[in-house]
Structure formats: C-alpha cells, structure tokens
C-alpha cells in the first residue's frame, strides 16, 4: 500500500473552507470569539497509502478574545472516496464510513471514559474527536503527531516489546467494549456486523480472488512451492469467501466483543519514553470494527505486524499474555457475562485460524509493497494489463517469495489450505 511521498494525491474536499473549519473549531473549543486567521491544507498521506479513505492535514493559525496572541495547531480530516472511485463500490456495502463516524462520535469517547474511570488507565486509547459531519462523510480529529506519537516501521515489523504493548491495549479495547455492550444492550446491533467476511455482502471477493490468482502465478517461479501449494491456492480462489464466513460465524459459548477489525502496523501509533521504549499506543482507523470474537484481531495482528519468529513460534504464548490482560480488564469493569477459560479461548483462537490465511498471504504482501507500479484498490480490482502487472509484482518481490517458504508450510500444517 504505502508509496513514496511523490505519489499522486487525492485533492482536498472543496467544502473544506476557512469558514467551515472556523465554525467547527468554535464548537470544539467552546469559544465563539475564535477567529481562524490562516488555513493551510495538505495531503496527510499519498494516494495508495490508504485504500479506504482520503486523509488531509489542516494547519491552523487562530486568535481568541481576550487576545492570547496567534495560536497554531494541526488537525487531521478523514473523508470518504467519491462515489465515482472504484474503492467506493467495494467499501460502501460494508458500511465502513457510517460505522467509523459512529465510532468517533459515539463509541470511542465512551470506551475512553471507561478506561480512565474504571481501569484507571489515564493513557490515551484513541485520538480525540473534533467533529463528525455525516452529511459530508468526514471526521476531524486531533493530530497525534503533536504528542510525539508515530507509526512504527511497517517493513521491520514489531518486536516483543511493541507486541506486548499492542496486546495490552487491544485487551483494554475489547474489555471496555464488552462492558459498554452489557450496559447499553443493542449499541452494536446495527452497523457492526460486516467485517471482511460476513453474510450480507461479498464485495471484497474480487479483491481476494485477484490476489490469490496473482499468488498462484507467482508460484511458477519456485518449482518446490508450485508443486506443493499451487493446486491448494487455486482451490481457495473459489472458496475463500465461504471459508472466511465460516471462520467468523459466532458460535454458542463464544466470548464476543467489538473487534478493531483492521489491526496492523500503520493503524497503531506509538509514543516513546526518553530511553526509546514504547510507553503508549493508540488505535486509528475503525472502518472495519465488527462485533465478533477478539480472536480475529489477534490473527490479523500476528499475520501482518509482528516479527516472523513471534508469529511462527510464539503465538500460543502471546495469546496467553493477551488473555490474562483481557480477564483483568473484564474484572475491573465488573463484566457480568461469561468469561472463557484460557483453554476455551485458545480453542476459540484456533477456530478463527482461517483469518490468518487471507491476512498473511494476501493483505500482508500488499501492505509491504514498495514497487514502482501504482498501488490502489482500482489496480487490485482491474484485469487490465497494467493492473495484472501490479498484482504480479506484489508477489515477485524477493522478500515475499522467501517468506512464502515459511508462511505456506505454517498454514498448511494447520489444514488451512485444504478443503474445509
């Protein structure tokens, strides 16, 4: 997904004017004397870095009365793609834009309050919401880079120290969401039933199929992998959505809560102490937050974001680490539902293991792409010559080809590449 800074960018929304921003800031700061003196609008990320939205950074200079002099700050503005963008055809059936606006306007402030008051954790869990404009499909929220938060290197992945922090904060997210659901029954009943796999839409199917076909073509470059796995990958082309839906179906007795849905490296921001150790982490990007097993977040995270040694050899231990953090959080918020035993939760994790297939074989190579071809959802969807060249280039990167020698046996030994 990520590209160099020279990549073309989406234009800023035409409605994002000085008058509009001033009006929203007056509401946020609760100060009608605020006057926006200067507004500079810049793309926050290049086109291709985010397949689901347009990110804009706004730099502000403003004054208030009585005069405190000119103050400066920045905020981020997240907007939907236009209906003419091919990404919209995929994303709109999942309700991702309505869901994320609800998250920032309604859900996240409540989760943050539970974490502060009941878990006694004063660290930030999310960026603060400045404004949600449902008519324009936009969210304005605080720029966490001002607090020295930054995204870790997606290519280097996360070591054990970062991984433990993410799992700790993930447990907080899941525990507070479970408590909120218990206190406000039905709060997640609408709009939170559509993860990447669900029973309502298969709009992601062309993406999954096209990437699987490209993966299959790439195996021809390695006779050993081709002989052992190409037929299994070809079988997945027609079955991945069925298998995915089965793996995310909620079963009686499952512990369920609100899952983040898209927890990978660039959807975390870390703050560091004076010695360079991560001291806090926040989540961003809640378009695919879904009511389901927290195990899907664990599989997604392990498959896309941690060092290979942790992913391949220490998952059971990491699940245990997460589980104890989760249980501690559920106790502090006086959760009244059934808390699974560690044994039951490990079984739940294994039952969701197919989630690791599409995350590690399809999404991760796209996330790590640094090639010369334009990277966009349109390129993934298209069958044009250039689009096929782009998809093929994803899996022809030497590091990806080397990693397939680890990932394919790891998945195959669990039966995740066989008929299910």
Among 208, 15, 210, 191, smallest CA distance to 92 is for: 191
Integer angstrom CA distances of residue 411 from 318, 355, 387: 18, 11, 28
Rg value, the chain, Cα: 22
Give the CA angle between residues 247, 251, 254 to the nearest 5°.
100
Secondary structure, 3-state, 36-105: EEEEEEEECCCCCCCCCCEEEEEEEEEECCCCCCCEEEEEEEEECCCCCCHHHHHHHHHCHHHHHHHHHH
Query: Which stretch of DSSP H or E encloses residue 140?
Result: strand 138-142
pLDDT score recorded for residue 128: 93
Report helix, strand or coil for 163. Answer: helix
Sketch out the chain's domains with CATH numbers: 148-420 (3.90.1200)
Per-residue pLDDT tens digits of the chain, which is 420 residues long: 343 333 445 567 889 999 999 999 999 999 999 999 999 999 876 444 455 678 899 999 999 998 879 999 999 999 875 555 667 788 889 999 899 999 999 999 999 999 999 999 999 999 999 999 999 989 999 999 999 999 999 999 999 999 999 999 999 999 999 999 999 999 999 899 999 999 999 999 999 999 999 999 999 999 999 999 999 999 999 999 999 999 999 999 999 999 999 999 999 999 999 999 999 999 999 999 999 999 999 999 999 999 999 999 999 999 999 999 999 999 999 999 999 999 999 999 999 999 999 999 999 999 999 888 888 888 999 999 999 999 999 999 999 999 999 999 999 999 999 998
With contact defined as beta carbons under 8 Å apart, do 367 and 1 qualify? yes
Query: Which stretch of DSSP H or E encloses residue 281?
Result: strand 278-283
With contact defined as beta carbons under 8 Å apart, do 171 and 178 qualify? no
72 has which bridge partners? 61
Distance CA 215, CA 393 (A): 10
With contact defined as beta carbons under 8 Å apart, do 190 and 106 qualify? no
Distance CA 86, CA 100 (A): 20
Among 209, 222, 263, 248, smallest CA distance to 408 is for: 222
With contact defined as beta carbons under 8 Å apart, do 154 and 368 qualify? yes
pLDDT score recorded for residue 48: 42
Report helix, strand or coil for 150. Answer: strand
Q: Which residue has the tokens 């030497």?
A: 398
Distance CA 86, CA 376 (A): 9
Distance CA 180, CA 258 (A): 10
pLDDT score recorded for residue 121: 96
With contact defined as beta carbons under 8 Å apart, do 408 and 417 qualify? yes
Give 170's contacts (C-beta < 8 A, 6+ positions apart). 260, 263, 294, 297, 298, 301, 322
Distance CA 370, CA 415 (A): 31
Among 289, 319, 297, smallest CA distance to 181 is for: 289
Task: List the 129-133 sheet strands across, edge first.
Answer: 35-43, 54-63, 71-79, 138-142, 129-133
pLDDT score recorded for residue 2: 40
Q: Which residue has the tokens 């930054």?
A: 150
Distance CA 336, CA 178 (A): 10
pLDDT score recorded for residue 43: 84
């Amino acid at each position: 997904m990520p590209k160099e800074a020279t990549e073309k960018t989406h234009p800023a929304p035409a409605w994002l004017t000085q008058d509009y921003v001033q009006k929203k800031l007056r509401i946020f700061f609760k100060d009608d004397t605020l006057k926006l003196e200067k507004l500079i609008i810049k793309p926050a990320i290049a086109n291709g870095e985010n397949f689901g939205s347009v990110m804009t950074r706004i730099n502000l200079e403003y004054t208030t009365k009585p005069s405190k002099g000119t103050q400066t700050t920045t905020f981020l503005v997240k907007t939907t793609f236009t209906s003419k963008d091919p990404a919209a055809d995929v994303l709109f059936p999942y309700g991702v834009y309505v869901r994320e606006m609800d998250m920032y306007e309604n859900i996240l402030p409540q989760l943050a309050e539970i974490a502060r008051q009941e878990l006694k954790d004063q660290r930030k869990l999310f960026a603060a919401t400045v404004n949600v404009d449902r008519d324009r499909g936009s969210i304005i929220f605080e720029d966490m880079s001002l607090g020295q938060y930054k995204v870790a290197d997606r290519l280097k992945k996360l070591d054990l120290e970062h991984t433990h922090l993410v799992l700790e904060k993930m447990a907080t997210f899941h525990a507070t969401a479970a408590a909120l659901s218990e206190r406000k029954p039905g709060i997640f009943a609408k709009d939170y039933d559509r993860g990447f796999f669900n029973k309502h839409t298969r709009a992601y199917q062309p993406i999954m199929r096209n990437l699987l076909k490209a993966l299959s073509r790439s195996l021809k470059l390695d006779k050993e992998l081709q002989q052992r796995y190409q037929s299994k990958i070809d079988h997945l082309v027609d079955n991945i959505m069925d298998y995915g839906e089965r793996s995310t179906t909620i079963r009686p007795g499952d512990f369920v809560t609100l899952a983040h849905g898209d927890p990978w490296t660039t959807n975390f921001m870390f703050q560091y102490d004076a010695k360079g150790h991560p001291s806090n982490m926040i989540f961003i990007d809640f378009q695919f937050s879904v009511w389901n097993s927290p195990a899907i977040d664990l599989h997604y995270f392990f498959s896309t974001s941690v060092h290979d040694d942790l992913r391949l050899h220490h998952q059971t231990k990491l699940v245990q680490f997460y589980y104890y953090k989760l249980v501690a959080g559920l106790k502090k918020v006086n959760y009244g539902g059934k808390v699974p035993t560690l044994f039951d939760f490990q079984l739940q994790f294994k039952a969701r293991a197919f989630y690791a297939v599409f995350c590690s074989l399809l999404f991760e190579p796209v996330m790590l792409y640094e090639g010369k071809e334009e990277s966009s959802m349109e390129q993934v969807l298209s069958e044009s010559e250039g689009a096929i060249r782009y998809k093929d280039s994803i899996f022809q990167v030497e590091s990806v080809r080397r990693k397939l020698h680890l990932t394919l046996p790891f998945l195959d030994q669990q039966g995740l590449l066989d008929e299910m």
